[in-house]
């Protein structure tokens, strides 16, 4: 059963891009991966600075990913990264590199090593590996934003 047949309609440009890439992945039998970093802990560590810190992280990550990849803010405390033509293994490698970038940036701000675990979710097509599919994740996200 295809993960792409149940399209997510949204005015969000990032979700629209994910939908396009999912259709392309299904049509050409290529991989696509999505990573969502949960940065909600930042508001506790840096009260009143979380928005600028997350914006800075988004810009920094954008400079360290490929031109075909995409990073976007989901909700105000989550960053989503779309990796077209990337297997789950490739996304796992990228997520480790990105988590290290985030930890390095937060270490600079704190002036001490940041060692907290950064929660993330990952979904890939076509190898969902028993986890939530990209389409399921996007449906859940768009329904949450409608409420």
Q: What CATH number is given to the structural domain containing 136?
A: 3.30.70.270
In this structure, is residue 70 part of a structural domain?
yes
pLDDT at 96: 97
In this structure, is residue 7 part of a structural domain?
no
In this structure, is residue 8 part of a structural domain?
no
* Neighbour-count burial of 136, counting CB atoms closer than 10 A to its CB (0-12 exposed, 13-18 middle, 19+ buried): middle
Instruction: Examine the pLDDT at 4 and tell me if it is beyond 50.
Output: no
Q: Which residue has the higher pLDDT, 16 or 146?
A: 16
Range of the domain at 92: 13-141
In this structure, is residue 43 part of a structural domain?
yes
Instruction: Examine the pLDDT at 56 and tell me if it is beyond 90.
Output: yes
In this structure, is residue 38 part of a structural domain?
yes
In this structure, is residue 2 part of a structural domain?
no
* Domain tally, the chain: 1
């Amino acid at each position: 059963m295809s993960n792409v047949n149940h399209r997510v309609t949204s005015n969000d440009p990032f979700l629209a891009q994910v939908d396009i890439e999912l259709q392309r992945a299904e049509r050409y039998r290529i991989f696509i991966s999505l990573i969502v970093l949960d940065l909600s802990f930042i508001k506790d560590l840096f009260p009143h600075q979380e928005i600028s810190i997350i914006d800075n992280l988004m810009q920094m990550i954008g400079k360290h990913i490929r031109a075909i990849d995409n990073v976007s803010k989901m909700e105000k405390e989550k960053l989503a990264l779309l990796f077209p033509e990337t297997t789950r293994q490739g996304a796992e490698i990228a997520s480790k590199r990105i988590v290290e970038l985030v930890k390095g940036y937060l270490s600079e701000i704190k002036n001490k090593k940041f060692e907290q675990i950064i929660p993330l979710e990952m979904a890939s097509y076509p190898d969902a590996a028993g986890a939530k599919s990209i389409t399921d994740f996007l449906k859940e996200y768009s329904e949450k934003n409608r409420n």
